[in-house]
Amino acid sequence: MSVRIVVRNIVKKAVSPKMYGGLKHFFSYEKKIFRDIASAMNSDNLNRLATIHGTDKWNLHWYTQHYQKHFQELKNKKTNLLEIGVGGDADTKKGGNSVRMWKAFFPNANIYALDLHDKSIHNERRIKIFQGDQSDVKFLKEVAKEIGEIDIIIDDGSHINEHVLITFKTLFPLLKKGGIYVIEDTQTSYWADYGGDVSNFNAPNTMLTFFKSLTDSLNAKDFRIPGYQPSYYDLNIFSMHFYRNLVIIYKSKEGDRQ
Ligand SMILES: C[S@@+](CC[C@H](N)C(=O)[O-])C[C@H]1O[C@@H](n2cnc3c(N)ncnc32)[C@H](O)[C@@H]1O
């Protein structure tokens, strides 16, 4: 048992339930104020923001170092960011760590997120949460329509290969031209319980087989196949970046030289 829990139990026994409720409220409010101050003082540094807001995008996964580089240009722009997965699974009070980190890093952005479970407790100014399944194409299209132009999409949801691919195939075409699409935790491509396969690195239906195949789209103009009809991805992917457990895809925009 941690010291915090021991102290909490002693206080709980020593004071009335009403006073205990008041103390709990006071300390959680105080914690929030300190978090907000620390967040404001470190608003340029995503690794520190991830630590302050308690998301595992740093300290467990090492993603925010890459986001710092890829998202820097958008930092102060008026953008719309959509994250799949709010966190906390079925516990409706938990999660929200990454949406609050994004809100702190992007001062002019609207932060949207969706989750299978009710996470509406995290709605606040510049943060809007939708409830639904990322493998439900109709739901994804409704969300995208309500948001309008989406500049950044981050998939940190179920990590089930089939879901990731449905979500990408639905939302990438709806991403703004020049937008950035991110898939986190691509290691589930090797994990059987997520629909992955470690026995064959080119197994059909895994996300990494699919995303690796898209690297060919970058070179589609040079295929030298008579009569070749370019695919949507051939025409709309500007660049792809592979990191450990992370894929970042840039959508082409007008004026890109390719
Ligand atoms: C890894 S957590 C997200 C963590 C959060 N993005 C963060 O960095 O703090 C994954 C979330 O995805 C949600 N989820 C699982 N399956 C889903 C699905 N099919 N559709 C939408 N959300 C799902 C879970 O409820 C859980 O809250």
Q: Please indicate whether residue 98, judged by its CB atom, sits closer than 6 Å to ligand 1.
A: yes
Residue type, 99: V
Q: Residues 53, 122, 159, 163: which is the catalytic one?
A: 159
Q: Please indicate whether residue 156, judged by its CB atom, sits closer than 6 Å to ligand 1.
A: yes
| Residue 170 CA to ligand 1 centre (angstroms) | 18
Query: Which atom of ligand 1 is found nearest the CA of 56?
Result: 8
Q: Please indicate whether residue 236, judged by its CB atom, sits closer than 6 Å to ligand 1.
A: no
CA nearest ligand 1 atom 24, residue: 89
Residue 178 pLDDT greater than 80, yes or no = yes
**Tens digit of pLDDT for each residue in 205-258?**
999 999 999 999 999 999 999 999 999 999 999 999 999 999 999 999 998 988
Mark whether 159 is an active-site residue. yes
Instruction: Determine how β-strand 150-155 pairs with β-strand 127-131.
Output: unpaired
pLDDT band of residue 4 (cuts 50, 70, 90) is low
DSSP letters along 126-189, please?
TEEEEES-TT-HHHHHHHHHHH-SEEEEEE-S---HHHHHHHHHHHGGGEEEEEEEEEE-GGGG
Tell me the pTM. Answer: 0.92
Residue 6 pLDDT greater than 90, yes or no = no
Spans of all domains in the chain: 1-41, 44-251
Candidates 100, 83, 94, 90; CA nearest to 36 is 100
Give, for ligand 1, the residue of 47, 81, 86 to mutate: max count of ligand atoms closer than 8 Å to Cβ.
86
Residue type, 181: Y
Query: Which atom of ligand 1 is found nearest the CA of 135?
Result: 19
| Torsion angle (degrees, nearest 10) of CA 56, 49, 163, 212 | -90
| Residue 95 CA to ligand 1 centre (angstroms) | 9
- Distance between CA atoms of 18 and 9, rounded to whole angstroms? 15
Average pLDDT of the residues of the chain:
95
**Tens digit of pLDDT for each residue in 51-110?**
999 999 999 999 999 999 999 999 999 999 999 999 999 999 999 999 999 999 999 999
Q: Please indicate whether residue 86, judged by its CB atom, sits closer than 6 Å to ligand 1.
A: yes
- Distance between CA atoms of 131 and 134, rounded to whole angstroms? 9
Instruction: Give phi and psi for 242, each to the nearest 5.
Output: -110, 125
Residue type, 78: K
Task: Output the CATH code of domain 44-251.
Answer: 3.40.50.150
* pLDDT, average across residues 18-36: 80
Residue 128 pLDDT greater than 70, yes or no = yes
Q: Please indicate whether residue 89, judged by its CB atom, sits closer than 6 Å to ligand 1.
A: yes
| Residue 194 CA to ligand 1 centre (angstroms) | 14
Query: Which atom of ligand 1 is found nearest the CA of 95?
Result: 9
Residue type, 125: R
